[in-house]
Structure 1
Amino acid sequence: MKNRVFHSFIFTLGLSVPFATFAMEIDVATTVPHEFSEPSLVAPLQSQNLLHSLNAVNELPDTHAPQVHDFRTRKQVRSLFVENTALPMVDIQLTFNAGSARDSEVESGLYGLANMAAQLIDEGTPRYTAQEVASTFENVGARFSATAYRDMFVVRLRTLSDPDKMHTAVEMMLTLLKHATFEPSNIQRVVSNTQIGQKQLRENPSRLMNIRLYRAIYAKHPYAEPITGTNGSIKRIQPQHLQKFRDQFLVAQNMNIAITGKLNLKEAEKLANRISSHIAQGQAATALPLPVAASTFNIQHIPYRSQQAHVSIAQLATTRNDPDYLALEIANRMLGSGGFNSILMKELRVKRGLTYAVSSSFRFTQATGLFSLGYATRQDQLIESIQVAHQALINFVQQPIDAKQLQETKAGLIRAFPNQYSSNASINAQLGHIGFYRLPANYLSDYAERVEKITAEDVQRAIQKHLQPDRLTLVIVSEHLDKATLEKMLQDNLLAPTFLTPTQHKINTMPTEKTTLAPMQEVVEPDLVPFDVPASILNNAHNESDVD
């Protein structure tokens, strides 16, 4: 007769949901190794005394931000360091002012240069083959990567803190930064892979919208073209272009250093000095030009046969260094990034069932970044959904800020912020962000206090200054679009703003996020990899397979 054992498993569905306990029946005869005896299976759980009720969460000690050491190397390179002795490892991030916005500074129209440099920088030097580079990192347990964004070129190295192993890994990183060869055969491989990505692009309306959106808003500005460039531009890239990019932008005076891990301050200073002294010094990149804002509505239509229409609404907003940054982050949380509590989600989904999900975001960058909102809806609900989204934005800008929602939003941001420095990699990404945008070293420790000080008046003033519902760019992927009707509706919203009235809907008629698309015409826009987001510290952490 088979023995059967019941084990209890406890899980949570978020802080607002109570614990639930489930029993699972295990067939001991088929699932338990032979050497396990019956007594060991029924022994009391040793960890029961460690379990906590959610009622006691508020009694747990506060999580404090890590102490950030801010110093300059002998070469005057800003370096930020956080000591973390929990694991025998060190994370290093070199953040260069060398994103895809710098591509055309090497040669006009050479879009995709920074991205290709990031993909090929570890593919060999005059002394080492690509295999030897990979083996060097692997043999000492290190991991190297490089990524290009619009603003940044980010080099990351994760290594063990053992001095010999760390020395070997850092030496190889410095060798790549100084001597990467960018062989023609490797360039051709990247070109071929990018061309293959074109086929996937034809079936991805979100990426199509993103490309068209940036081109429509930024026009001739360096931010306008995709990070990966175009089919025509990447075919022009030669080894000498990549070497010139490296020599001009991947230099000490154009970077900041972030170090996190099992080192003391003296050791971190020694490491930072070594890094900044062993690569070319060069010069800091010049400031990017400011883009020109639109003066009226700009409606862009991408024809697609689809059961759904996809909508992106955006405008130029502001830079990362704007004093209104924090007030706008709070405003965005209230408007469109706060889940079911956000205004857009309530108006479009909860009250009317016009979409499955809607969100908004600010993209804060060196030059003026974007505010945008986006969603998908049924074809027959397209105009209505845009009318509701636009009117919700107008009301949000013009009407007083809800004090209760503001307080709840601020509390949520403060509670969630410790997640942004919960691991070595996330701390290091935060340090890279602080260094790149020239933020103060106490940015992490003072965050909660600064959020708490934001008032409703601060938020109202910020959104009225930076959000213009009369100057929006709309990019719509749909089978048909009556532009004249849409523009008249937008103008009517501006002339006669009204309070929104909920409409009747059925939940099962709401559009889902799945769709099958068949293009009506050949898609000529380039593929977009990596995804078009700034090198935000809130997103970088998940790119690392962290276990710390």
Structure 2
Amino acid sequence: MNRILSGCLIGTALFSLTPMAQAIDIQRWTTPQGSQVLLVERHDLPIVDYTVIFKGAGSTADPEGKSNIAAATAQLLVSGTTQLDEEQFNSKINDLASNIETGNSFEYSNVSFRSLSDANKLNATADLFNQAITQPRFDANALQRIKDQAILSLKQSESYPDYLASRELTRLNYPHHPYGKSAYQTVEKIQSIQQQDLVNFHKKNYTQNQAIIAIVGDITRPQAEALITRTLSNVSTHINTNTAAPKVEIIGGKRKNLPYPHSTQTSISMGLPVLTADDPDYFAMLVGNYILGGGEFDSRLMKELRDKKGYTYGVTSSLSAYTQAAPFTITFSTENQNAKDALASAQKVLADFIAQGPTATELKQAKDSITGAFPLRFDTNGKLLGNLMAVGVHNRPTDWFDTYNDKINALTVDDIKRAWQRKIQPTQLNIVVVGGKNSAKP
């Protein structure tokens, strides 16, 4: 069965690389049609992992007044073609022992496949892949099915305080920016999607000049070039130029309390748009986030709110990076009667960290832990493919993996302190509290 992959992988890279026994040899070029290609040959297994990313085809491109156009378009690409209905399409993929999947995020959609490298299997999979991206059926019944699924998912999510807090924080962070569109979806907007909406979105956004191709596996460059020609045959070559997300207007210091009287727990989310993928402070912010709240039981927030004061079972901070400013967020839940004190404690931990920076011991522990995660980030073709996608989407240098570890280890306490002071003013974070009527009142 085809799956929809999460696109959040591309937005954030919280782990770095340790020195490698052998550098990752990325072959990189641009096709005559303007598609960027990143290839890593790995011949130890007879498998090829292949993805085409269409920049600008993410949820930020959803037409005003409608939700889930980008997601529905991507999902239905693998739900039948003009030549094959959904059952026939899946049957052919299964007969080849291959897999074709789609994914969707804020800024892009992608279509991927995994195939044996045997020429007959690979070419047959590539032909089905090409059918999917050039001749989608956009069947009305399949569309209604995924609309029903999206509506059910939305209704279920709205019963969880954590979701409500996250959604409201996105609205505060991005009230008028395309990054906030997903937080304004409604049943009515989802139900309003029509087949022609998908046809129009596909025609406009699935173009070769916006494509980024990442390939990992048992394939040479000449074979990869032939595969690209096969998979992108008849994909539109018209120039889609209006794909860049606008700059985020950062407005902080806002507060929203949402009653949730039927729960004994209060959910708290606080954050602000902070980091872009090409920010000079990228590494200092990521390592600092590990120390503050991304390092699980090693983090300051966990030690203070869980271990010392017993306010919560878990508290985390997260830091994403998009083309424009992505959110830094602190999230946790606590008993209603502790909400006000727990929020004040989290704010104090953040303020102290920004004012003083990490200790030398904290920094060393973070570096060791982050760099030690490399084997788990690149031990499969699929994981490497995801990292190649990030390099392509954010136009990072070809030696990104080879120099990552050195950049992490070169950081000093003062580097992190200065970066966090430049990026975040503790009193400017937007705050959402979802809980009982009296929880965490200002």
TM > 0.5 = yes
Contact 1:297–1:470 (CA under 8 A) maintained in structure 2:
no
Q: Report Cα offsets for 1:327-373 as digits up to 9, x if no partner.
A: 11100000001122211011101111111111001121122110001
Corresponding residue to 2:355 among 398, 403, 406: 398
User: What letter is aligned with 1:344?
Assistant: L
1:438 aligns with 2:395: yes
Partner of 1:343: 300
Corresponding residue to 1:453 among 374, 386, 410: 410
What displacement does 1:434 show? 0.6
Partner of 1:134: 90
In 2, the alpha carbon distance for the partners of 1:175 and 1:463 equals: 48
Partner of 2:7: none
User: What letter is aligned with 2:62?
Assistant: D
Name the SS of the counterpart of 2:144 in structure 1: helix
Contact 2:170–2:183 (CA under 8 A) maintained in structure 1:
no
In 2, the alpha carbon distance for the partners of 1:287 and 1:479 equals: 41
Partner of 2:196: 240
Partner of 1:75: 33
What displacement does 1:298 show? 2.2
Cα distance change on mapping 1:482 and 1:160 into 2, 3 Å: closer
Q: Report Cα offsets for 1:139-172 as digits up to 9, x if no partner.
A: 1111011121112212110111011111111111
In 2, the alpha carbon distance for the partners of 1:119 and 1:314 equals: 31
Contact 1:77–1:276 (CA under 8 A) maintained in structure 2:
no
Partner of 1:180: 136
Structure having the higher Rg:
1
Corresponding residue to 2:126 among 160, 170, 184: 170
> What TM-score do you get using the length of structure 2 for normalisation?
0.91
In 2, the alpha carbon distance for the partners of 1:261 and 1:420 equals: 16
User: What letter is aligned with 2:287?
Assistant: I
> What TM-score do you get using the length of structure 1 for normalisation?
0.74
Corresponding residue to 1:254 among 200, 203, 210: 210
Q: Report Cα offsets for 1:168-203 as digits up to 9, x if no partner.
A: 111111111111121222221122222323442243
Contact 1:300–1:475 (CA under 8 A) maintained in structure 2:
yes
What displacement does 1:470 show? 1.4
User: What letter is aligned with 1:76?
Assistant: G
In 1, the alpha carbon distance for the partners of 2:184 and 2:66 equals: 10
In 2, the alpha carbon distance for the partners of 1:139 and 1:161 equals: 15
In 2, the alpha carbon distance for the partners of 1:443 and 1:128 equals: 41
Name the SS of the counterpart of 1:80 in structure 2: strand
User: What letter is aligned with 1:366?
Assistant: T
Partner of 2:324: 367
In 2, the alpha carbon distance for the partners of 1:275 and 1:185 equals: 27
Cα distance change on mapping 1:252 and 1:62 into 2, 3 Å: closer
Partner of 1:103: 62
Which structure 2 segments of 5+ residues have no match? 1-18
Identity, % of aligned pairs?
27
Name the SS of the counterpart of 1:174 in structure 2: helix
Contact 1:113–1:229 (CA under 8 A) maintained in structure 2:
no
What displacement does 1:269 show? 2.6
In 2, the alpha carbon distance for the partners of 1:404 and 1:299 equals: 37
Name the SS of the counterpart of 1:422 in structure 2: coil
Cα distance change on mapping 1:302 and 1:224 into 2, 3 Å: farther
In 2, the alpha carbon distance for the partners of 1:83 and 1:250 equals: 27
In 1, the alpha carbon distance for the partners of 2:361 and 2:375 equals: 23
Which structure 1 segments of 5+ residues have no match? 1-60, 487-548
Contact 1:112–1:228 (CA under 8 A) maintained in structure 2:
no
User: What letter is aligned with 1:91?
Assistant: D
Partner of 1:94: 52
What displacement does 1:276 show? 4.0
In 2, the alpha carbon distance for the partners of 1:189 and 1:469 equals: 44
What displacement does 1:228 show? 9.5
Contact 1:361–1:371 (CA under 8 A) maintained in structure 2:
yes
Q: Report Cα offsets for 1:429-472 as digits up to 9, x if no partner.
A: 11111101101111112111111112222211110111121111
In 2, the alpha carbon distance for the partners of 1:249 and 1:228 equals: 22
Q: Report Cα offsets for 1:250-279 as digits up to 9, x if no partner.
A: 111111000011112221233234334441
What displacement does 1:391 show? 0.6
Cα distance change on mapping 1:62 and 1:73 into 2, 3 Å: closer
Cα distance change on mapping 1:471 and 1:286 into 2, 3 Å: same
Query: In the TM superposition, what are the counterparts of 1:131-210 in structure 2 within 5 Å?
Result: 131-210=87-166
Contact 1:101–1:150 (CA under 8 A) maintained in structure 2:
yes
Partner of 2:250: 293
In 2, the alpha carbon distance for the partners of 1:118 and 1:446 equals: 34
- RMSD, matched Cα: 1.8
Partner of 1:35: none
In 2, the alpha carbon distance for the partners of 1:227 and 1:262 equals: 41
Partner of 2:80: 124
